[in-house]
Structure 1
Amino acid sequence: MYVVRPVEAGDIAALEALAAVTMPGVHTLPKTRDKIEQAVERSLASFAAQVDIPSEESYLFVLESLAERKIVGTAAIFASAGSNGTYFSFRNDVIQQVSRDLNISHSVHALTLCSELTAYSQLSSFYLDASVPEGPAPALLSRSRLLFAVQQPQRFGDRFFVPLAGVTDEHGGSPFWDALGRKFFKMDFLDAERTIGGARNRTLIVELMPHYPVYVPLLPGDAQAAMGQIHPSGEQAFDLLTEEGFEADEYIDIFDGGPILQAHKHALRTFTGSQTLRVRTSLDAAPAEGPLYDYAIANNAGPGFRAVTIASAELEGCEAVALSPEIQDILRVADGDSVTCVRL
């Protein structure tokens, strides 16, 4: 059994161990204990804050294996990207060029530095330990943060985006960065990630990145091939997010060219398909008749948020969901309480 919950101060050592095994250049957890501690402190303060308008809050969730009492995954959501400045990305554009004298017309793919994702809510830091098996646990981790957003809409924007790590080689080098960013920042990709990668809203980007469209055909072939491509470690997250309703192709990351998925909340399954149901205690160990489906079930406890998966008959149109005493204990709910459910 796995549960998703907000990070706690006692999780810092476990997060440090997870961060130690993540590959270079992959956007997941902060890599040093100091930065992990800062992320945990920000999350604790954000969950405890009374929020009317999304701002600098960041919410870090962990996936805990209850059998092992071990943290095996992380996922985060930032209330407002670029809240202390501007969030920059490259927008994929098509420039039409026409010569009437030569009777030639053609389209050119170009990248334009833009700040259109500023103030969107941002999903990030999705990471699973290799010990987590295939099944509903990865989807639970990815979607629990959106379940929290469903319950607390005032904390988040109406649009969400997710940057995914782009292609890098075995040494952590990025062909996209080498063709473009390195020319302006005069540093290797990993050095850039360590120096400014965690804050794509820094004035350094305004000062050094090209302000005019970058014509993609002028980039080397390996850099063009890397644009919009996902690091192998991000394929599972990509599948979960596109199934959720996120779409790619419009924006890419300014560092490694990885895809940036985005969507309005009303296009996301967790927002359109979730429902609030009353808890009904079930002591019956016999399986329900008919097909069973995996559901994510979350309490409505704010800072005490908890989410698990259950196998249940179809819940659409129901007023209550049957939960065993064990599941109720994990969620910290009782008979008659309300929970938020969504089919995985």
Structure 2
Amino acid sequence: MYVVRPVEAGDIAALETLAAVTMPGVHTLPKTRDKIEQAVERSIASFAAQVDIPSEESYLFVLESPAERRIVGTAAIFATAGSNGTYFSFRNDVIQQVSRDLNICHNVHALTLCSELTAYSQLSSFYIDEALQSRPEAALLSRSRLLFAVQQPQRFGDRFFVPLAGVTDEKGGSPFWDALGRKFFKMDFLDAERVIGGARNRTLIVELMPHYPVYVPLLPGDAQAAMGQIHPSGELAFNLLTAEGFEADEYIDIFDGGPILQAHKHALRTFTSSQTLRVRTADGQQPEGATVNYAIANSAAPAFRAVTLACPELEGCEAVALTPEVQDILRVADGDSVTCVRI
């Protein structure tokens, strides 16, 4: 069995190993030990903080095999994306152009630099070991962030978004960046990622990115084709997020043109379908009939835990049966409350 829990100081070496095997410019895991340590420290402080209004908190979760004490995945959520600045993206717009003299009217696809995602809560840093990508633990890891938000709504905004990595070649080059960003920043895509970072909120963007709409038909064909397309490594995350209720097409990333998925919390299944149930100790017998997979989470913020459970449909139930082993992993006891959502 695997468990999702908040990151701990003892996980730094394992995170460093995970970061070493992820592709540069694709996954948003911190790449250096110093940045990993900073992310871990910030997360620990955020989980421990008493929060009334979302601000600069960030919460980093890990997927662990308790039996082996092995970290096999990560996922994060930021309380507000632009808490220390402004989060920039390109908005897909349609500009109508009309000539009455020529009797011509047509629409032009344009990209407009905007900061509308600032103050949304941002999901980030999703990575899971390849051996687990087809198992329920992948959905558990992705959804645990939202389960935590369901339990702690005061820590997050009402809207969420997720930037996904765009199309890059085997060397990390981006056709979208080469056609647009390179013209203004005079550097390669990976260099820009390293200099400016994943936050998309630095002063350099305000100083250098075009402030007027970019007419898409003027971009090269390969750049147009890359817009809104995801890197192959992001297909799992995309499928999980769209099944959750996130939608694409309105915004794209200003660097690689990757899709930015967004949604109001009331459009997300975890918010609309989760239920709070009482724990009762299972009698040791295997459940009869068909079973479905659920994500089950305890309700202790600093000691948050979530696991998958195959059980009969819980709709309309008042309690969920958990074995002593699962109760120990979740750190709950008979009569405690847990949050459950079908995955």
Instruction: With the length of structure 1 as denominator, give the TM-score of the two structures.
Output: 0.99
Other-structure match for 1:90: 90
1:335 equivalent in alignment to 2:339? no
Deviations 1:144-178 (A, max 9, x none): 01000000000000000000000000000000000
Other-structure match for 1:197: 197
Q: Is the 8 A contact 1:72 1:131 kept in 2?
A: no
CA distance in 2, matches of 1:89, 1:100: 34
SS at match of 2:51: coil
CA distance in 2, matches of 1:238, 1:317: 30
CA distance in 2, matches of 1:30, 1:115: 24
Q: Is the 8 A contact 1:27 1:125 kept in 2?
A: yes
Cα distance, 1:291 vs structure 2: 1.5
CA distance in 1, matches of 2:83, 2:336: 35
Q: Is the 8 A contact 1:80 1:156 kept in 2?
A: yes
| Structure 1, gaps ≥5 residues long | none
1:178 equivalent in alignment to 2:173? no
CA distance in 2, matches of 1:133, 1:91: 31
CA distance in 2, matches of 1:112, 1:103: 27
Q: Is the 8 A contact 1:109 1:215 kept in 2?
A: yes
Q: Is the 8 A contact 1:197 1:255 kept in 2?
A: no
Cα distance, 1:121 vs structure 2: 0.2
CA distance in 2, matches of 1:201, 1:231: 22
Deviations 1:251-279 (A, max 9, x none): 00000000000000000000000000000
The count of corresponding residues between Structure 1 and Structure 2 is: 343
Other-structure match for 1:311: 310
Other-structure match for 2:106: 106
Cα distance, 1:32 vs structure 2: 0.3
Cα distance, 1:198 vs structure 2: 2.0
Cα distance, 1:25 vs structure 2: 1.0
CA distance in 2, matches of 1:69, 1:134: 21
CA distance in 2, matches of 1:261, 1:30: 21
Q: Is the 8 A contact 1:4 1:63 kept in 2?
A: yes
Other-structure match for 1:260: 260
CA distance in 1, matches of 2:197, 2:34: 17
Q: Which amino acid aligns with 2:77?
A: I
Deviations 1:30-65 (A, max 9, x none): 100000000000000000000000000000000002
Other-structure match for 2:285: 285
Other-structure match for 1:52: 52
CA distance in 2, matches of 1:279, 1:8: 27
CA distance in 2, matches of 1:99, 1:319: 65
Cα distance, 1:131 vs structure 2: 2.9
Deviation above 3 Å: which 4+ runs of structure 1?
none
Q: Which amino acid aligns with 1:298?
A: A
Q: How does 1:104-183 map to 2 (within 5 A)?
A: 104-183=104-183
Q: Is the 8 A contact 1:87 1:117 kept in 2?
A: yes
Other-structure match for 1:222: 222
Cα distance, 1:197 vs structure 2: 2.6
Other-structure match for 1:301: 300
Other-structure match for 1:320: 319
Cα distance, 1:133 vs structure 2: 5.0
SS at match of 2:302: helix
| Structure 2, gaps ≥5 residues long | none
Deviations 1:305-328 (A, max 9, x none): 000000111111111000000000
- What's the RMSD between the two structures over aligned residues? 0.8
Cα distance, 1:95 vs structure 2: 0.3
Q: Identical aligned pairs, as a percentage?
A: 88
CA distance in 1, matches of 2:252, 2:72: 29
CA distance in 2, matches of 1:223, 1:67: 47
CA distance in 2, matches of 1:287, 1:115: 50
Deviations 1:291-315 (A, max 9, x none): 1110000000110000000011111
